[in-house]
Structure 1
Amino acid sequence: MHTSYTYLADGEPAQLAESWEPMAITGGSLIVLPEAGPHAGIGVADRMALIGIEVGTPVERVTARQATRSEAQNLGVAPAVPVLAIERTYYDQATGRPVETADIVLLGSRWIAEYGQRP
């Protein structure tokens, strides 16, 4: 299942996301459509739990780069503005198989990345 998202902040586009989930895992279930049905919009981990799959913290690869033309157009900015690009994958904790992967693009001027837990 492929889903595209544009997230707004203060009414303006601030984040883009392209998400993929294997139909072999979600097909035929009530969670097949991430944004429709009785469990719409509850997030990957909570949706997967409904079909008996426990996911842990996703693996994320974060880079900084210039926005592509398409990204800039969708974000309503000039081409080549700085963005954070995140490749994120959630895994089934029991089998190690990927259950969702996403390419996320954040406007560099609107986001700060902070990782870890404070004491």
Structure 2
Amino acid sequence: MDRSSPVPLYYQLAQQLERAVEQGELPPGERLGNEIALAHRLGLSRPTVRQAIQLLVDKGLLVRRRGVGTQVVHSRVRRPPALSSLYDDLEAAGGRPGTEVIGNRVEPAPAEVAAALGVPEGEDVHRVERLRLTHGEPVALLRNHLPLGLLPVLTAQLESTGLYRAMRGHGITLHSAHQRIGARAATAGEAALLTEAPGAPLLTMERTTYDDTGRAVEHGTHLYRAARYAFDFHLLVRP
């Protein structure tokens, strides 16, 4: 701790604990011990430790459980601004991704989906809805529409791998995508699936992906738990 720094001690401690969680030094399920013992070990006041812990509880990295104490939940999912699937990103980060397929059916394309995929409105398309989990905890609700006949859309395969990996396995070369990120409040149904309270903030992502011929191969509308998810960007100053 740098006591000469203008950065408050509670915030310095919170940053150190967050880095330890992100780097796996404090794995999921790890107990932090009680505030008094932690304050004594670090040479800090109990209110300082309590404030640092509360900051990470609010971020969703720690949880307080009666009779258990303060435990690490999971690190926040961080994704680069690249054309990749959430499944692959979670797997690369050691997040043990899982999938629950909620829906897998053919339906007429609504206007927005038809425009994105470049097909007539009302033409049959494949609609897939999945709940993506990491360490058994839901982090995202994914809805994707694909042109009919693009590839076999098998529920068993979707439960064991990501959609982009399945596409590549069928010879589809992903080239580029147009993506829009926003935010909104969770509906009651979405909140129940994502284990959030109704009205909780959710990150939204709408993406249309193209192959190397310029053909639209999927249109996705995804919802992410704001406390468990973040995009990382590297920005350069425009000359």
TM-score range, shorter chain: 0.7 to 0.9
Query: Residue 12 and residue 48 in structure 1: after superposition, are their counterparts in 2 closer, same or farther (change >3 A)?
Result: closer
1:48 shift after superposition = 3.3
1:2 to 127, 136, 151: 127
In structure 1, distance between residues paired with 2:173 and 2:224 = 27
Q: Who wins on radius of gyration, i.e. which is larger?
A: 2
Q: Which residue of 1 is the match for residue 43 of structure 2?
A: none
Matches within 5 A, 1:33-52: 33-36=153-156, 41-44=161-164, 46-52=165-171
Distance in 2 between residues matched to 1:88 and 1:49, nearest whole Å:
18
- Structure 2 match to 1:29: none
Please give the alpha-carbon distance, in whole angstroms, between the structure 1 residues aligned to 2:227 and 2:155: 28
TM-score by length of 2: 0.40
4+ residue segments displaced more than 6 Å: none
Distance apart, 1:54 and its partner CA: 2.0
Partner of 1:99: 217
Once the two structures are superposed, the pairs formed by residues 73-112 of structure 1 within 5 Å of their partners are: 73-94=192-213, 96-112=214-230
Shift of 1:8: 1.8
Match of 1:20 in 2: 145
Q: Which structure 2 residues correspond to residues 53-64 of structure 1 after superposition, within 5 A?
A: 53-64=172-183
Retained in 2: the 8 A contact 1:22–1:99?
yes
The code of the aligned residue for 1:97 comes to R
SS of the residue 1:115 aligns to: coil
The DSSP-based 3-state class of the residue aligned with 1:80 is: coil
State the secondary structure of the residue aligned to 1:25: coil
Structure of greater relative contact order (alpha carbons < 8 Å, 6+ residues apart): 1
Aligned residues: 109
Structure-1 separation of matches of 2:144 and 2:181: 16
User: Of Structure 1 and Structure 2, which has the larger fraction of its residues in helix?
Assistant: 2
**Deviation readout 1:65-117 (Å, 9 max, x if unpaired):** 111222112112111111100011111221x2210111111000001111359
Q: Which runs of 5+ in 1 are unaligned?
A: 27-31
Of the three residues 52, 68, 71, the one matched with 2:190 is 71
Aligned residue for 1:78, secondary structure, equals coil
Structure 1-normalised TM-score? 0.75
Q: Is the 8 A contact 2:176 2:211 kept in 1?
A: no
Provide the alpha-carbon RMSD of the alignment: 2.5
Q: Aligned equivalents of 1:63 and 1:98: distance in 2?
A: 22
Percentage of identical aligned residues: 30
Kept in 2: contact 1:35–1:41 (CA 8 A): no
